[in-house]
Every structure is written in C-alpha cells, then in structure tokens.
Homo-oligomer: A and B are copies of this chain.
Amino acid sequence: MSAIARRRERERAQRHQLIITAARELAEAEGWEAVTTRRLAEHVEYSQPVLYSHFNGKDAILRAVAIEGFGELAARLRRARLAAPEPSEAPSGAPSGALHAVCRAYLDFATERPALYQAMFVLPTDVKFAHAETPPPLRAAFDEFVSCFRSDNPRRELFAEVTWSALHGIAALADSGRIPPNGQTERLDFIVTQIAGTSSGPATR
C-alpha cells in the first residue's frame, strides 16, 4: 500500500471517530432526539452523504456510540472492582465490598453519561447481548459483575444478570424521571445487601 493510500486511510479513520464523538457529544448536550443526520453533518463540517460513506445509516452510528460506551463501562467497573477493599472471593454470606463498588460505579456511569447510557441500554438496538456475536467490551462488562461472586457459586451468572437488571431498573427509572433521583444511594445499598446478603450459599430455596 502506498504512503498516500496510508495517509488517506488514516484520515478516514480519524473522521470515522470524529463522527462517533460528535454524535455522542450532541446527544449528551441536547438528547438523542436532537441528533439528526443534518445537524451531525454540520457538526463534523462535512455534508450529509459523508456520514453514509462511514455508516450504513443513523442506527449504525448509534450502535458505534453504544459499543464505545460498553468499553468505557467495562473499564470503569474493572477499576472499581480491583480497587475494592477485599478480594472478590470473600467468605460466603458476607456482603462483598467488590460487589458494592462495582454497582456504585455502574450507577455513577449511568448518572454521569445519561445519553450514552441510553444508547447502550434503552434505545432500540440490534446489538447482540449474551450471544456469540456479542461485542467483547459488553461481555467484559458483564464479567465484572460475575467476578463479584464466588467462583464456586453455580448460579453466579444468574446473580450477575439480576444484579445488573436491578441496577438498570433504578438507573432507567431515575433518568426518565419515574423515580426521584435522590434515593439512589439508599436503593443501591438495599440491592447490594439483599443480593449479597443471604442465600448466596449453594442451595437456595
């Protein structure tokens, strides 16, 4: 490949990222309903059709933003888990510090980047979850939850799934104004206590 072609490819990749970033910033500033192809094109200072040479359509741009978000979320959860006071293999029955830290990190992420969170978990998407084609960052984020439970727990995947779902519930309802945003810490503590609390042992029910 010639040097010229290399430069062009480099510039193209930069512009690709520029579009994703612009979409994300526009959404974070004014909400996703304000992200139109026209406004986005103006933001990146190119004409509308250029967007379509990078992405199949608006949905594909949204999808790219979401996947970028999964990467950031996974990194954030991982950092929180590793910084937690105790190792993830805590004695059964005791509330895990790692679990609490990861859950709080998740909620902080949802609160600080509501539009990004929406792209990832609320807006319609064709991103495959829990599937062979699941983007690795998404899988990685999920695994951070799994790692908060003892590896000899046969139901740790279920634990992780429900923990995630419960957090998503309070994050989504709070973001859309359906529950007051103030009680989040209380709700977080409650969820962690209940899930890590009892019956984390092998034979529940």
> Residues of A with Cβ closer than 8 Å to B?
33, 121-122, 124-125, 129-130, 158-159, 161-162, 164-170, 172-173, 176-180, 183, 186-187, 189-191, 193-195, 197-199, 204-205
Contacts and interface: CB of A to CB of B under 8 A. Distances in A.
Contact of A169 (B172, B177, B193): B172
Contact of A166 (B125, B130, B166): B166
B130 A158 contact: no
Contacts of A162: 166, 170, 187, 190-191, 194
Contacts of A125: 176-178
A155 to B, nearest CB: 8
A189 B205 contact: yes
A50 to B, nearest CB: 26
Instruction: State the oligomeric state as a number of copies.
Output: 2
Given A121-B173, A158-B186, A179 B197 contact: no
Contacts of A178: 121, 125, 129
B205 A193 contact: yes
Given A122-B176, A161-B187, 18 more contacts: A124-B176, A125-B176, A125-B177, A129-B179, A130-B180, A161-B183, A162-B170, A165-B170, A165-B173, A168-B169, A168-B173, A172-B172, A193-B204, A193-B205, A194-B194, A194-B199, A197-B197, A197-B198
Contacts of A187: 158, 161-162, 165
Contacts of A198: 194, 197-199
A146 to B, nearest CB: 14
A205 B194 CA distance: 10
